[in-house]
Amino acid sequence: MKLVRFSVGTDCTPRAGILGADSVQDLSGAGVASLAALLESPNLVGVLQALAAAPLPVHPLASVKLLAPVDQQEVWAAGVTYLRSKKARMEESDFSASAYDRVYEAPRPELFFKSMPSKVTGPGGIVGIREDARWNVPEPELALVFNSRMELVGFTAGNDMSSRDIEGENLLYLPQAKMYRASCALGPCIRVAADETEARSWTIGVQILRGGAEVFAGETSVGQIKRSFPELAGWLARSQDFPEGAILLTGTGVVPANEFTLAEGDVVRIRISGIGTLESTVKVV
């Protein structure tokens, strides 16, 4: 089952819904205040089955605007979880390449804060490239969705935009390379009622279009993520509280060649086989 956050017509109030093939079932009529509140349900799958069978309004998909599936959850990210990511980060670094090699093998993963929920863009939105960066790439990633009890309640697709030249110049510049306006996109939905075993069978692909022509495409498997989902969740929850829940990007295994950089107007399509496609347009910010 797939959950979405959406708005209808001129009413910009975010609503929660169940995504169908060409429609969205509106859960606001059942008293669902927000997507985050719904994800707090102790028996989420049972609640969703009951809601899906209820006589609630249904909107054609073409008549709604899908929003980023995040309410007040903090968005975090894990890095160097794929071997390909480790190699790419080492290649971009002037003098700190060994740090990526060490963290790939270390018990403690690389974790960093990615975005406030209000700064996350959704399906059909923009992703930004810094005006002071020369080497910018998208990072297609599976995102784990947790409720306030740090229970894994779903999955979504994410784009962890990165300024590789800034990060490569100095590890201390990581926040500037990763956290800026429109640097994070999530969507198009949250896939629930799937476990880690199923998720690891999914593929993650990215396609970049420039002037309508493909300039890069790549694909990997979620199964290539080195660390288990409970392991990542356990480290994220250490000495932390997430009263609104959290979303954790799990790293990328698809990296364009070193000579490639995004340009304004590029269209980035990230597809996870068990979730759907997140499309964004690149803009200099």
pLDDT tens for each residue of 69-82: 999 999 999 999 99
CA-to-CA dists, residue 75 to 117, 187, 189, 195, 204, angstroms = 7, 13, 15, 20, 20
List the structure tokens of 182.
């429109």
Return the pLDDT at 98.
74
pLDDT tens for each residue of 6-33: 999 999 999 999 999 999 999 999 999 9
Architecture label for domain 74-284: Alpha-Beta Complex (3.90)
The H-or-E segment that residue 209 falls in is strand 203-210
DSSP, res 121? B
CB 154 within 8 A of CB 3: yes
**Strand 140-146 to strand 136-137: parallel, antiparallel, or no bridges (unpaired)?**
unpaired
Contacts 24+ apart (CB under 8 A), 168-174: 168/92, 168/93, 168/94, 168/135, 169/94, 170/94, 170/96, 171/93, 171/96, 171/99, 174/112
CB atoms closer than 10 angstroms to residue 243: 9
Percent share of the chain, pLDDT over 90 = 91
Q: Cα–Cα distance between 182 and 171 in angstroms, integer?
A: 21
Closest CA to 253 of 101, 139, 127, 90: 139
Amino acid, single-letter form, for residue 223:
G
pLDDT tens for each residue of 146-197: 999 999 999 999 999 999 999 999 989 999 999 999 999 999 999 999 999 9
Q: Give the domain ranges of the chain.
A: 2-67, 74-284
pLDDT at 93 over 90: no
